[in-house]
Structure 1
Amino acid sequence: MSTPPPQERAAQSKVVPLEELAGRVRDGDSLALGGSFLHRGPFALVRELIRAGRTGLEIVKQSPGYDIDLLCRAGAVKRARTGIVALEGNFGLAPWYRGAIESGEVELEEHACATLTAGLRAAAFGVPFQPVGGVHGSDLAELNGWVRMDDPYGAGDPVYVIPAIRPDVAVIHANEVTAEGDARVYGTTHWDRIMTRAARKVLVVAERLVDGARFEERPELTLVPGFLVDAVSVVPRGAWPGSCWPEYGVDYDAVSAYLDVSGTTLDAHLSCGPEALR
């Protein structure tokens, strides 16, 4: 297959400003967010959604923290499908998320990380449900109406089956992208791979833009191929105040400041985001 001329490759670029990327998430969308806790989350996009005034979102993530807490603080969330939610050992629980759940402002479909992953896998594999182990003895099955199914082959114990979970949009933060939308992540990929296969639309925020030839040299490192990606934005340090290995670590002082309600308003915190300082 021949390589298209430079002008044709330029016309295929999926790189857009962050504001436009946020515009591809609509009010009421089901939104899967990549990363885990304070690590490599698409936090620049989360802040941009708040600036854009998004409302009624459903957040899907196995281990959210700062991202869902910030969106709850802004009143942007209507529903959550989550596993463990926390700001990690340094800071404990996510206070605005907890308050939104306890007040009933946000409806919660509580999961274990494995059950949420099973639902996403079902969507990615194009099947109506996915079996999962380890649910026996938990109230989650009854609370969520999950069906217990006998092993049709008679070789094992019954299992619960989780219905498919297909988010409208999945957003991940990557180390590198090409103009065509290929995305590469260094270090652990968390649940980003399965999210991007399950969602109807995939958006990527990345630390930097690189030439496609770099990806061709090591194709096995490509986490998300460009044909799955709707659009990308390049935002250096876009995972702040979280980490993006090996680029930078967690800004613990910034997280502490975010949690200090006596000293930092939501608007003041948003103004500190790297995307706001460009």
Structure 2
Amino acid sequence: MSSGFNGKNKQRALHELAALVPDGASVALGGSFLHRGPFAFVRELIRQGRRDLEIVKQSPGYDIDILCRAGAVRKARAGIVAMEGNFGLAPWYRKAVEQGSMQLEEHACASLTAGLRAAAFGVPFQPCGGLHGSDLPALNGWTCLPDPYGSGQSAYLVPAIRPDFAVLQVSEVDRQGNARVYGTAHWDRIMSRAAGSVLVVAERLVDTAVFEAQPEATLVPYFMVQAFTVLPGSAWPGSCTPFYEIDYPAVERYMDTTRTLAQHMAEAPELQEPAHA
């Protein structure tokens, strides 16, 4: 795994990592709903005043909601969007869609994954099952192709989706940039293979020997990672297995419409934690 490593220092402070994403970029965000999302990174994009972003994620929630609340999103390519069952829909995202301040390319989780797979595999489109009878193909202008091998079946073709960046929250990273997660990887693997660049936010830094002892557990190898930061607690108010669970009171405070965005941002643990660990 370390073969060919050029010794480049990829570790950055959180503000330096977020600064790599320019206005107008297409950004795929890892995790799912309130679980292992790069939420500190998202908040740093807001602090830096980022605008006109395209957000790509199969099941976003807090991340896209707070970005919409801050006026940072131009377009979303998303499947189900919610704050999970405890809190219902994502209100600021919904408002952005209803008011037309953000363009929505609505997907099923499977169709968005198909588009990312097409980009990862270097092909212009990917067939996707399960879309017959849905309004999604007509909404997005997807072509239905009969099976050229004569089965009589057909499949809709989802165009390739290639984000500029995939930003992943991981459990561990080493100094070379190898990254892995505990528990489910959600859609992080295909995001990392589809995107032009991968940025990583890690809960902790470990020695490369940890990766060498179990190389099959590596989610993203170092040569795919442009840069990373190490920041414990950076998935707050969400969870990051096995380090911490969702901070439900903090999510409740975020959802409280009597409180401002600034009040919520002031609670963020990255304002108290050092940028390097």
TM over 0.5: yes
Report the equivalent of 2:11: 15
1:149 matched to 2:179? no
**1-structure distance, mates of 2:3, 2:143:** 50
Q: Is the 8 A contact 1:176 1:210 kept in 2?
A: yes
Paired with 1:3 and 1:252, the residues of 2 have a C-alpha distance of 43
Alpha-carbon distance, 1:277 to partner:
1.4
Q: Which amino acid aligns with 2:113?
A: T
Q: Is residue 177–residue 209 contact of structure 1 (8 Å, CA) maintained in 2?
A: yes
User: Which string of whole-angstrom CA distances, capped at 9 and with x for unpartnered residues, describes residues 182-207 of structure 1?
Assistant: 10100000000000000001000000
2:49 corresponds to which residue? 53
Matched, 1:177 2:176: no
Q: Which moved more, 1:151-160 or 1:174-183?
A: 151-160
Q: Which residue of 2 aligns with 1:166?
A: 162
Query: Cα distance, 1:3 vs. partner?
Result: 7.7
Query: Match of 1:31?
Result: 27
Give the Cα separation in 2 of the matches to 1:160 and 1:54.
35
Q: What residue in structure 2 maps to residue 129 of structure 1? A: 125
User: Are residues 1:268 and 2:260 paired?
Assistant: no
RMSD: 1.5
Of residues 65, 76, 83, the one that matches 2:79 is 83
State the 1:12 CA deviation. Answer: 2.1
Residue type of the alignment partner of 2:195? A
- Residue 108 of structure 1 pairs with residue 104 of structure 2: yes
Question: What are the Cα deviations for residues 6-64 of structure 1, in whole angstroms up to 9, with x where unaligned?
Answer: xx97x422110000000111100000000000000000100000000000000000000
- How far 1:2 sits from its partner (Å)? 9.5
- Aligned-residue sequence identity (percent) comes to 66
C-alpha separation in 2, matches of 1:211 and 1:115: 38
Question: 1:247 corresponds to which residue?
Answer: 243
The whole-number CA distance in structure 2 between the counterparts of 1:64 and 1:79 is: 13
User: Out of 38, 45, 50, which is 1:42 matched to?
Assistant: 38
Query: Counterpart of 2:88?
Result: 92
Q: Which runs of 5+ in 1 are unaligned?
A: none
TM-score, length basis structure 2: 0.96
CA distance in 2, matches of 1:35, 1:234: 17
Aligned residue pair count: 273
The answer to whether structure 1 residue 195 and structure 2 residue 191 are counterparts is yes
Q: Does 1:72 align with 2:93?
A: no
Contact kept? 1:12, 1:179, Cα under 8 Å: no
Instruction: Please state whether the residue corresponding to 2:89 is helix, strand or coil.
Output: coil
| Matches of 2:48 and 2:3, distance apart in 1 | 39
**Which of 266, 272, 276 pairs up with 1:277?**
272
SS at match of 1:223: coil
SS of corresponding position for 1:174: strand
Measured after TM superposition, the shift of residue 91 of structure 1 is 0.1
**Shift in Å at residue 70 of structure 1?**
0.3
Q: What SS does the aligned partner of 2:219 have?
A: strand
Aligned to 1:89, the other structure's residue is in SS state: coil
Instruction: Extract structure 1 runs of 4+ deviating beyond 6 A.
Output: 1-4
Deviation at 1:88, TM superposition (A): 0.3
Secondary structure of the corresponding residue to residue 190 of structure 2 = helix
What amino acid is aligned across from residue 186 of structure 1 in structure 2?
Answer: Y
Supply the AA of the counterpart residue of 1:55: R
2:205 is the alignment partner of 1:209: yes
Please report how far the alpha carbon of residue 155 of structure 1 lies from its aligned counterpart in structure 2 after TM superposition. 2.1
